[in-house]
Structure 1
């Protein structure tokens, strides 16, 4: 049977394998090549006979390529290297296992080892697609086993930059770090063994002069902490709180783990996120506008508090509203505004709120006994009129979604001076949103810069519909380019990295034949 015919039949096995590897299931149950091989390739080889598609040379190249998967942050042992070595002398079994191992590696490089929905429940970004059968045919015919697999991985510069950084970190000597134990924030003037450990770690990082041992948080220690905070994009306050301690305790092993997690996240993303699109990185507190793959502008963000996390999802921007009314979400009306109005009833009028009953009728707030109301039975809707105190500021950028999350202005612009800006109730407050709105409307007739300025200056609520929707991707990436050829390691503000790392490290579990047959 010709190789092309064999590969065409292999496509069915590839589809089964890809579905098995990326199905929505607990992440620890990702299948292993040795367990899948007899199922997904059995029917193919029964029909094809025992014809061998893996030459001895290509088989050796496959083993080397599987070992090289560590450069992508994947564990080569997940592809059953020991068993492949053990069956070298059994041509038929070797072929089955080699094919299954290649297909699994291909699927993991193409779409990730993990199903992103199992990590990010709101994930809506479509997976990357490719003709795996054609790729396998090419690999076997040319002998470019590793190169063909590498070509299935993301080709974005940041992915390749992180692979380079991963190799550099793995080549470094695994020096034990002088870790500082978790505990209360360490502040100037404090003393004790944790301060002594803090100073030792700062010396190890080259931020504090190596001198006599001390357990005093002195001025030199404060300066060293501030230097670290500036380098790591943390609030520069000279206090070693939780975020600063995480940065202090990040050694080579922690950097490697963080890179592996984010390499996996990039494998979940498509090759293109849109000709013109916005990419908001929660962990970096910024949103970047891209056109034809090139970053055009970056705006600072305020993201959700750790207990009101901004969700990770993808959508499309449809329209922009200037001088918006703020339709206060019911959850915020109950949890935030009701307690405020109970303490200060005058805030209703002072802040420009309008109170409506459930039928939509405007209610005079002066006639409401706010202290008699309960959050569980709050009977009103709240709206805030356009103006300088409006929670949305002068503009909101809309991509209707079930999370009620969007990009908008804010009257609290002083918060952009902070380095870590997790202050919102989930939405993305955006610095200079009018400029961002102008970029989004650049291809919409009738909405040049002057038209936008006029709409804002009118003080009236005005809607501008985009001529073409612009994709917006809200992501969570904790390693990013530093803009100078290196990698920045960001604080994992929502503690999301651990779940991805645990799933990457978990040994794949067997998958029953009945499951793969569905």
Structure 2
């Protein structure tokens, strides 16, 4: 009899696991775990955040029926809905146990094994934030407590968790978000009461899973605070990570192992500690308003300038005047802040110098969060465009081997963050004008002069694909709703894409390309495109990409740029392209760089961080 009961429980548990993962089907209808209905929004409202393992997880949709009878289709849909609404089966609670640990397991089970499964659970007034990982974690271990020894006393591993939380600030996270004071209070006077011990265990497990999720892939779903972010974050089974930490007795190491391994993240962590030390020492001085400061200037404002530059490490020499050393220090500061490098302290340079160190710290923390949204490695060779820096680099084995200035999207037509593989080049490309650009930019010109686009070599085609005479259309009656024309610009020197476009297929139809508007690369802030990325050195980039293709050399590529005949050249292997948005980073020379938040993407992320801090999670 005992064997039959055990086997029954094992079968039920196996069914529960596959149901929870959305992998089971009954009568060809996927069973959807009710937990999957928990959205990021509902978790945020409940004071919690989704775990990394949930980021990319979406419930499978009910398969479409092939039945042609509407009544039969409706009946199948109703049946599917009934099956989908059934909660997943969890293992039964322990029975006939008399030791304290067993009694605690029963209490844990009774709190998380409900019908339906809980989508929110408060323990001692605190909302658990990791239910979707916490429930299967306990179910797979038969609801046995994780943070108690055999006598029902707190395990030494609990102290390790608290020690790990003490280091949260080093990662740009706030340890206050994980309630360490309340956790330590639980350890001080924990009575031998099964219910209270179960609550203690649930809270510590929830804290590990939540902090682990934040280290692994950030505190926020990227798309919730940055709608243009399309790169998938890292994911791990955090329940497995916790189980491994409990077995090995290495809780701190298990958590640290979840943080990004990329050197860029590690370097930014170091910069954060440096700037926090500056803040601890009182920050830096501000430069009062006044006339432009330049070499030869003297007075109190120059003294303040020297002190400010010393605080950030841009100036080492002592002195009292705006001398050669100060000029070099100002130029250094301007370069690493993306300002015009002239060695003169004008209004824009003074504003950058006067930004409080606390704001720079927040900026560093925001960009550490963005790092947690990225994969651990970008590959041995890849292209990286940092949008706020207006630069593109090719990296090989972590080192930059090619650099080019770029023009990115206007503030109302922003270049999105994305990752895709470059597959081919189009030499001497035609430009098929996107409908949005045709309506917003070209139609107003046609209304003023039907032949305005002809001067740019742009031809107009009707919906049947036949070229038309621009004068044959009453453009004043055409609007965004009834615009049914196609615009194409042939290859040539006036073509908006120049001599080449570099293609990495993606949902946004974004690509890199040449441009006839070379003068724009002289600007320090280059937000002029409609979303695609214009490259200042397209010939050199094409030559680099085709260097292993014997059919191509610089002379042939240059000739193909001017051939006025479109030609597609496939790369021998795909090259990862990353369009990223960093307002703080450490460059290959170890220099800290800050950039203006050109698209105002830091602000929603900062608001979300402050919301968490205020909630007293």
Per the normalisation by structure 2, the TM-score is 0.67
Residue 447 of structure 2 corresponds to residue 430 of structure 1: no
Residue aligning to 1:31: 48
Counterpart of 1:105 (choices 196, 211, 215) is 211
Tell me what 2:308 maps to.
205
Contact 1:75 1:505 in 2 (8 A): no
1:75 matched to 2:174? The reply is: yes
Q: Equivalent residue for 2:269?
A: 163
Corresponding residue for residue 373 of structure 2: 268
Question: What secondary structure sits across from 1:175 in the alignment?
Answer: coil
After superposition, residues 117-196 of structure 1 pair within 5 angstroms as 117-172=223-278, 173-175=281-283, 178=286
Could you tell me how far 1:358 is from its partner in structure 2? 2.3
Change (3 A) 1:38 1:463: closer
The answer to whether the 8 A contact 2:499-2:561 is kept is yes
After superposition, what is the alpha-carbon deviation per residue over 1:336-379, rounded to whole angstroms, capped at 9, x for unaligned? 22334555665433321112222221123355565665565445
Distance 1:464 1:37, change over 3 A: closer
Query: 8 Å contact 2:146–2:205 — kept in the other structure?
Result: no
Unaligned runs of 5+ in 2: 1-12, 23-34, 50-122, 191-196, 294-298
- The answer for the alignment partner of 1:471 in structure 2 is 576
User: Which of 66, 78, 92 pairs up with 2:165?
Assistant: 66
CA–CA distance in structure 2, aligned partners of residues 371 and 152 of structure 1: 59
Do the aligned partners of 2:336 and 2:594 also contact (CA within 8 Å) in 1? Answer: no
SS of residue matched to 2:48: coil
2:222 paired with 1:116: yes
Deviations 1:490-511 (A, max 9, x none): 111111112112222322799x
The structural deviation recorded for 1:454 is: 4.6
Return the offset for 1:42: 6.6
- Using the alignment, how far apart are the partners of 2:520 and 2:478 within structure 1? 32
Give the conservation status (yes or no) of the 8 Å contact 2:388–2:583.
yes
Within 5 Å, which residues of 2 pair with 1:251-330?
A: 251-330=356-435
- SS of aligned partner of 1:87: helix
Partner of 1:350: 455
Structure 2 equivalent of residue 84 of structure 1: 183
C-alpha distance in structure 2 between counterparts of 1:347 and 1:198, whole Å: 54
C-alpha distance after superposition, 1:226-265 (max 9, x if no partner): 8854452224587956x65652332210111011000000
Partner Cα distance (1:441, 1:169) in 2? 43
Name stretches of at least 5 consecutive residues in structure 1 with no aligned partner. 1-7, 190-195, 212-220, 511-518
CA contact (8 A) 1:165 1:486 kept: no
**Does the CA-based 8 Å contact 1:315-1:399 persist in structure 2?**
yes
Residue deviations 1:455-500, cap 9 Å, x none? 3343311111234333322111111113332311111111111211
- Quick check: 1:483 aligned with 2:581? no
Cα 1:279–1:425 shift into 2, 3 Å: same
Q: Which moved more, 1:198-207 or 1:383-392?
A: 198-207
Matched residues, number: 479
Q: 2:517 aligns with which of 412, 430, 445?
A: 412
Structure-2 residue corresponding to 1:193: none
C-alpha separation between the residues in 1 aligned to 2:338 and 2:614?
Answer: 39
CA shift, 1:222, in A, is 12
Residue of structure 1 equivalent to 2:55:
none
Partner of 1:47: 142
Q: What's the counterpart of residue 215 of structure 1?
A: none
**68-77 vs 143-152, which deviates more?**
143-152
Contact 1:120–1:312, Cα closer than 8 Å, also in 2: no
C-alpha contact 1:444 1:468 (8 A) present in aligned 2 = no
In the aligned structure 2, how far is the partner of 1:475 from the partner of 1:197? 41
RMSD value, Cα: 4.1
Q: Could you tell me how far apart the structure 2 residues matched to 1:269 and 1:51 are?
A: 31
CA 1:77–1:371: 2 relative to 1, 3 Å: same
Q: Is the 8 A contact 1:87 1:93 kept in 2?
A: no
Q: How many Å apart are 1:137 and its aligned residue?
A: 4.2
CA deviations 1:404-448 (Å, max 9, x no partner) are: 321110101121122211111111001212322333345667556
- Look at both structures and tell me which one has the larger radius of gyration over its CA atoms: 2
Q: Is the 8 A contact 2:172 2:365 kept in 1?
A: yes
Helix, strand or coil at the partner of 1:121:
coil
How far did 1:72 drift?
Answer: 0.5
CA contact (8 A) 1:405 1:427 kept: yes
1:96 to 2:199 alignment: no
Q: Which has the higher contact order (CA 8 A, sep 6+)?
A: 1
**Cα distance, 1:323 vs. partner?**
0.6
1:217 is aligned to none
Residue 149 (structure 1) shift: 1.5
Contact 1:313-1:474 at 8 Å conserved across structures = yes
Q: Distance in 2 between matches of 1:364 and 1:198?
A: 65
Moved more, 308-317 or 196-205: 196-205
Relative to structure 1, the CA distance from residue 58 to residue 233 in structure 2 (aligned partners, 3 Å threshold; closer, same or farther) is same
